Amino acid sequence: MKIALMMENSQAAKNATVLNELQTVVKANEYPVYNVGMSDENDHHLTYIHLGIMASILLNSKAVDFVVTGCGTGQGAMMSLNIHPGVVCGYCLDPSDAFLFNQINNGNALSLAFAKGYGWGAELNVRYIFEKAFLTGERGQGYPIERAEPQQRNAGILNEVKAAVVKENYLDSLRAIDQELVKTAVSGERFQQCFFENCQDAEIEAYVRALLN
């Protein structure tokens, strides 16, 4: 599983701590982690709006399999990601949120609060969230287990409803956004390295290259 971590301007100072916890947790499974957002407050400036665009490009192109993101409350990043087709982002404040999202909703992104409630021992909470998100075995098994069948069915139906509501072709949806927003989102050096090394969709790659040129 390839994982992208992306953080925006308001919480960029915490990137090193969050990245360390994520890398430490998934090291045993040899999951590569790509730190594609801001690494400090002086880095390439991003807002939670940019995070949604970045996540959608990485997930829809299959450059990564999962995105970890967030903002001050985690709400803005979650809403920004969930606007886009092919992205199912959960809101996560504690380890049980991560476990239940993993088992019931089986999405491909998590949004954490990196300011609200982020106090003494916060790095431990982040670590335990990542453990429940990535080290709990097969995803989508349901909880409690006797509810597995309707939960799996409803998760599939929700994805179908979202696909029906978002009728445009994915690239058409990207082109409908202010192109300066998209260009800023894809302009980071680490984002580009992750995307171009792992992208599995030639059309999305061609679009990003044309935008950058």
- The enclosing domain of 140 has a CATH number of 3.40.1400.10
> Residue 92 CA to chain centroid, in angstroms?
12
Q: The pTM is what? A: 0.94
Rounded to an integer, what distance in angstroms lies between the CA atom of residue 124 and that of residue 127?
5
Q: Which among 204, 210, 200 is positioned nearest to 63, based on CA atoms?
A: 200
Structure tokens at 98: 């991560």
- Number of C-beta neighbours around residue 203 at 10 A: 11
- Position 26 scores a pLDDT of 98
- Position 176 scores a pLDDT of 93
Q: What is the CA radius of gyration of the chain?
A: 17
**Interhelix angle 75-82/48-60, nearest 10 degrees:** 40
| Contact in structure between 46 and 188 (CB atoms under 8 Å) | yes
The tens place of each residue's pLDDT in the chain, 213 residues long, gives: 999 999 999 999 999 999 999 999 999 999 999 999 999 999 999 999 999 999 999 999 999 999 999 999 999 999 999 999 999 999 999 999 999 999 999 999 999 999 999 999 999 999 999 999 999 888 888 888 888 899 989 988 988 888 887 767 899 999 999 999 999 999 999 999 999 999 999 999 999 999 999
Tell me which residue range forms the domain holding 88.
3-212
- Number of C-beta neighbours around residue 187 at 10 A: 15
Specify the DSSP element, H or E, that contains 33: strand 33-35
* Total structural domains within the chain: 1
Q: Is the dihedral of CA 96, 99, 100, 105 positive or negative?
A: positive
- Position 167 scores a pLDDT of 67
Rounded to an integer, what distance in angstroms lies between the CA atom of residue 141 and that of residue 162?
22
Q: Among the residues of the chain, which ranges form H helices?
A: 15-26, 48-60, 75-82, 95-100, 122-134, 148-165, 170-176, 179-186, 189-198, 202-212
